[in-house]
Amino acid sequence: MGKLDGRVAIVTGAATGLGRGIAMLYAAEGADVAVLDRNGPGAEAVAKAIRALGRRSFPVQVDVSDEASVKIAIAAAIEALGPPDILVNNAGIATVSLLEDMQTAMWDEMIRVNLSSVFFCTRAVLPHMRARQYGRIINISSQLAHKGGEGMAHYAAAKAGVLGLTRSLAYEVTRDNIAVNAICPGPLLTDMRLPPEWAAKKQNELVIGRQGRVEEVAPTALLLATEEAAFYVGATFNPNGGDIMI
């Protein structure tokens, strides 16, 4: 018996990195998983790996920063796998620029991908969760939402927005048996590339002395996806290697 037997999950940004790790762990625990990512071949590869575990999976190539595309993608995932019990808003990007030098296009892209996408995807699944009086929504933020970072004002602002959205939504849907929580990972060894000098500086700030691994964070997303997470309301989990201790 898996912890997610019979559940249907939608994971965004699931072709690589933390999203892939979460999708694969959910499948290993019995869930069917819709794999959403703008990298279509990558999404298909993860879906194939999930099917090899004996679970159903449906890959969707989608730009989660585009409202119309999200509606189509979520509808397709629901048609293929059924109404979602779990949504993981993981898709995101990271770029670096001092605020004074930042182009408006860079700011706008960050807000669309890292914050507006959470709004679009969550709004699309909520009617289905409300109708069934069950849901788990897990938003991936960042430790920089708490402390900020030089050259990362746009990223920190978007991720802080995710926390505000998480808490506010919890007020709206908890009584419908929908648990909404957030995870703020520290730097992870994934395909998300940042300038080497920035990454080296950040690693030196970590109490643990190294970047984290996907398998050290994905179990937090598993906990929040289970029925046992009902008493976590608008909470923030901080697996960050000691970058910020709260």
pLDDT score, position 198: 63
Query: pTM of whole model > 0.75?
Result: yes
pLDDT score, position 202: 64
- The answer to whether 33 and 26 are in contact (CB under 8 A) is yes
pLDDT in tens, the chain (246 residues): 899 999 999 999 999 999 999 999 999 999 999 999 999 999 999 999 999 999 999 999 999 999 999 999 999 999 999 999 999 999 999 999 999 999 999 999 999 999 999 999 999 999 999 999 999 999 999 999 999 999 999 999 999 999 999 999 999 999 999 999 999 998 887 666 666 776 667 677 788 888 889 999 999 999 999 999 999 999 999 999 888 888
pLDDT score, position 206: 80
> What is the phi/psi pair of residue 230, to 5°?
-60, -30
Determine the Cα–Cα distance for residues 105 and 103; give it in Å rounded to an integer.
5
Q: What residues are labeled active site?
A: 155
- The answer to whether 68 and 79 are in contact (CB under 8 A) is no
Domains of the chain: 8-237 (3.40.50.720)
